Chains A and B, each alone.
Chain A
Amino acid sequence: MNFRVLKKARVVISLIFFLLITFIFIDFTNAFSGSNIRSVLYFQFIPSLISFIGLATIAASGFILIALLSLVFGRIYCSSLCPLGTLQDIIHWSKQKFGRKKVPKKQKPFSFVRYSILLLSVLLVLLGLITPLLFLDPYSNYGRIIANLFRPVFLLLNNLGALTLESMDIYTLYRVEPGITNLFSILFSIALFFLITWLSVKYARLFCNTLCPVGTLLGLLSRISVFKISLDKSVCTSCGKCSAVCKAGCIDVKSREVAFDRCVGCLNCLTACPTNGVVFGYKKTNQQEVIKPFDPQRRNLLAGALVVGSSLAASPLMAASQMGGDKRCKSPQDVIKNYPVSPPGAVSLDHFNDACTACHLCVSACPTHVIKPSLLEYGLAGIMQPRLNYHTNYCNFDCVVCSEVCPTGALRPLSLEEKHVLQLGKVKFIKHNCIVYIKETDCGACSEHCPTKAVKMRPYKKKLFLPIVEPNICVGCGACEYACPTDPKSIFVDGNPVHLIAEKPIIEELEQPDTTEDFPF
């Protein structure tokens, strides 16, 4: 096999996925359909796994394929499919190309760290707490980095382009208001981006072998994979050229051993060897020399389990904070939201909070930008999971984009017919804040925007009209809350902890007029 071609293929495939995923997070025109987006994200391990647990459909089988591939070839996901991995490769490559060329620092196995993180993640997720994945899933982290850091830059460039074209009376581009997502989410993305940059400049792919639970899990699988990278002891001169380009630092030149569980499959070593001594091929796993170096790691695995065990004691605390964390709006008046409004398709807070990894794809895809990452609305355990923020905008009645793009199944796909009667929350009216009540002038902005007329205007005092609400037919879109001009709001939507079916508005037939009559003036 020509290893050069193999390595090139890896780079090309990883760049294709990287660019496609980057595009769907940057795009503000909804250029890709929901099914196209889900195809692009088919191989994303954690979303696919969560989706499979929730739905058990073929559409969510990507993670099984990845696992099988890992059992045959090693960590293909890390080498070619993970966007965060490719981002690290690009940063590392840029540093090598444009900065001072430096051999990546030697990486220790950090087995204790990585196995602890993996076990903790697995156990907490089994207990129904997705929080570790919120912070550690590589795909979701990449999504947030793009949505929070690169998308605004892209929108700015778009707006500059639009301005330039508009001055020539060309309106093919249009300006877009970037809109801040959420400070915590942005700060976390900045911190992670700097960490990734620093690690990849210094060590190449250390993140993937320490903090990333997916990397560690697939590493365990690749321990017993059929094909492995190894050094051919008959030709290896221990020159060290392979380990100098190794992104995972997993080649021990002295003992001529490769810790394949830490290999991220960059294939650099294959092309670096002057004697063709690095081999990617069938290797028996039960050879003593392969297992022996891992002995200390086994101990770490056990130690990790202990740490996890003890920290599990803390998990009920987290869960408690999740349950008790329902936001109570601290405005001077009475706007009390018992529950945040979760996006359409979320089914219930329980379902949504258990399955969302806060990748921010729905945040990016939402045409009205009403979907924003939460802070503590879902409690600490659900930090950054998106909610509908009716101060930004409202949920378009004839739109189901978010439910179509969600890769984890936290939002289940909806048809427009389903969406039209889906009740995300219920309207509540606070008369004492209302302009009509306070100033005795007409307003009615809430009723104007209501798609089901769950907010109507009733005669009030002399010639005025005051809102009256009918929560049964309210879909909780938040149009009334958004449009309300008072501060604090006089009308708002309190989220439903379980999404309900709204009653359909009763429609009476209208009498058609006789248009042949004369003008009334």
Chain B
Amino acid sequence: MKRRDFLFKGLGAGILAGSGVSMNGFSRLMGNPAAPEDGDIDLVAIKGTSPADMFDEGIDAYGGISKFVKPGQSVVVKPNIGWDAVPERAANTNPELIGRIVKRCYEAGASSVSVFDNTCDEWKKCYENSGIESEVNDAGGTIIPGNSESYYKDVKVGEGKTLTETKVHELILNSDVFINVPVLKSHSSAKLTIAMKNLMGVVWDRRWWHKNDLHQCIADYTTFRKPDLNIVDAYRVMKRNGPRGVSNEDVILLDSMVISTDIVAADAAATKLFGLEPEDIPYIVIADEMGIGTMDLSKLNIKRIKM
């Protein structure tokens, strides 16, 4: 009983929270095509030498974590924990960054902060060797498995063109706040994996996406439940051989981070950091055309911070 109640309440709150943010972005887009001088910030880009400190600096510029996490709310943090690899390989999101985010969410009054990924490699090894499990535990968060199909529930993706239904991890459905924390990497299938691509880790059947126009599916899924906040880890960046990487030699130090509520803008900015153009990445173009967000960074109010 308790579980079902929780699910319905969470789902309601989730839809409310999700639509709130997307409405906000939408109105801003329609009303203010040119970059506003002093209005709300759309995107924060940070350069620094510590991912955790970059987050603190960036989120303050964005108005603080309490703008996104209200007291009593449940939070789900979705890093990229796809691979059985140590942090130096940059195959997964930086663990200290995840630990800091969990900590800040609790400071903002979150009732619970959960972290999970539907990993590619064996999930226990990924959770452990990425360093994320221990950081989350140290920060008081809950690390939750994503390894069993039974955690995933059928959902309809109403606005999807190709992807119209899929199975989503119950945490995404149950949590009040959804924070997406991808790592910027080269990617053999999608060219780059950033914020939108990271959401492939909240669904069960990824093969179907690969089989049915991957780029369109990536864009489609975003219409189901946009993250309330996207934090792109571009501190260590896998420049080639992604998303798994072969060795430490695939990694460069980019010392950067992008924070945005607009998932398409976050991907566009990170793409430029990587050295490519958003137009080169098909799913970013599709998402922009579908009105999911904006890839034209000149239209956005960007705060740039060098630490």
A: which residues have CB within 8 A of B? Answer: 167, 169, 171, 174-177, 367-368, 396-399, 435, 439, 441-445, 447-453, 456-457, 463, 465, 483, 485-486, 505, 507-513, 515, 518-521
Contact = CB atoms under 8 A, between A and B. Distances in A.
Contacts of A452: 246
Given A174-B147, A486-B211, A398 B125 contact: yes
A441 B214 CA distance: 7
Given A169-B112, A171-B142, A175-B150, A510 B250 contact: yes
Contact of A444 (B147, B189, B241): B189
A502 to B, nearest CB: 12
Interface stretch (B58-66, B176-184, B220-228, B253-261): B253-261
Which 8 pairs show the lowest CB-CB distances between chains A and B? A444-B189, A447-B188, A485-B207, A485-B211, A515-B255, A175-B148, A441-B213, A520-B272
A171 B170 CA distance: 14
Interface stretch (B10-18, B19-27, B95-103, B116-124): B116-124
A274 B215 CA distance: 84
A176 B144 CA distance: 13
Contacts of A515: 47, 253-256
10 contacts: A167-B3, A397-B84, A441-B214, A445-B210, A448-B120, A457-B189, A507-B246, A515-B255, A519-B47, A519-B273
Interface string B191-226: 000000000000000111011111110000000000
B263 interface: no
Contacts of B125: 367, 396, 398-399
A501 to B, nearest CB: 17
A397 B206 CA distance: 21
A448 B189 contact: yes
Interface in B114-150: 120-122, 124-125, 129, 142-145, 147-150
A485 B210 contact: yes
B188 A465 contact: yes
Contacts of B246: 451-453, 505, 507
Given A174-B147, A367-B124, A396-B125, A521 B214 contact: no
A448 B256 contact: no
B289 interface: no
Given A177-B148, A442-B214, A447-B188, A521 B3 contact: no
Interface in B225-267: 239-241, 243-244, 246-247, 249-256
B297 interface: yes
Contact of B249 (A368, A510, A513, A518): A510
Nearest to B116: A171
B304 interface: yes
A449 B244 contact: yes
Nearest to B300: A521
B171 to A, nearest CB: 11
Nearest to A28: B124
Interface of B: 2-3, 45, 47, 84, 112, 120-122, 124-125, 129, 142-145, 147-151, 187-190, 206-208, 210-216, 239-241, 243-244, 246-247, 249-256, 268-269, 272-273, 275, 282, 297, 302, 304
A519 B298 CA distance: 13
Contacts of B189: 442-445, 447-448, 457, 465
Given A510-B239, A521-B272, 6 more contacts: A399-B122, A447-B189, A456-B188, A511-B252, A513-B253, A521-B302
Contacts of B247: 505, 507
A367 B215 CA distance: 32
A450 B251 CA distance: 17
B254 A513 contact: yes
Contacts of B84: 396-398
Is chain A's interface secondary structure helix, strand, loop, or mixed overall? loop
Given A396-B84, A399-B125, A485-B210, A512 B47 contact: no
Contacts of B215: 441-442
A441 B282 CA distance: 11
B188 A520 contact: no
Find the residue from A167, A448, A456 having the highest chain B CB count within 10 A: A448
Nearest to B142: A171
B282 A435 contact: no
Nearest to B162: A441
Find the residue from B121, B213, B250 having the highest chain A CB count within 10 A: B121
B148 A442 contact: no
Contacts of A399: 122, 125
Nearest to A517: B47
B50 to A, nearest CB: 13
B160 to A, nearest CB: 15
Contacts of A511: 252
Contacts of B148: 174-177
Contacts of B142: 169, 171
B122 A367 contact: yes
B194 to A, nearest CB: 14
B251 to A, nearest CB: 8
Contacts of B252: 510-513
Contacts of B268: 521
A465 B186 CA distance: 14
A441 B142 CA distance: 38
B214 A174 contact: no
Nearest to A443: B210
A445 B207 contact: yes
Given A443-B214, A456-B188, A463-B282, A396 B241 contact: no
Contacts of B249: 507-510
B45 A519 contact: yes
B76 to A, nearest CB: 13
Contacts of A509: 249
Contacts of B147: 174-177
Find the residue from A368, A435, A515 having the highest chain B CB count within 10 A: A515
Given A174-B145, A442-B215, A444-B189, A368 B122 contact: yes
Contacts of A447: 188-189
A256 to B, nearest CB: 61
A326 B214 CA distance: 36
Contacts of B255: 515
A452 B246 CA distance: 6
A451 B84 CA distance: 11
A508 B244 CA distance: 17
Nearest to A173: B145
Contacts of B47: 515, 519
Contacts of A444: 187-190, 210, 214
B210 A435 contact: yes
